[in-house]
Amino acid sequence: MKELLRTTDPTIIAFASALLQGEGIDCFEMDVNMSVLEGGIGIFPRRLMVRDDMIDRAERVMRDNEIPLGRP
């Protein structure tokens, strides 16, 4: 799996996941439970992962919908 996007905004993760699922691209959200360690203040970014063979297609979906990937 490869990292598609990284953000501290849970609404972007939800929107991106819905867009990807609509395109038939499976995704997996990582670092969801970090809020337990941080106290729920949202300082640790969450990551959205996709399969290696779907990364180009997923990045295109994000660009088409103007969603910043938030990664180097």
Confidence of residue 17 (pLDDT cuts 50, 70, 90): very high
User: Sheet holding 2-7: strands in order across?
Assistant: 2-7, 46-50, 27-30
pLDDT above 70 as % of the chain: 86
Average pLDDT for 48-66: 96
- pTM for the structure as a whole: 0.84
User: What pLDDT digit, counting tens, does each position of 31-49 carry?
Assistant: 887 766 666 666 788 899 9
What pLDDT sits at residue 72? 63
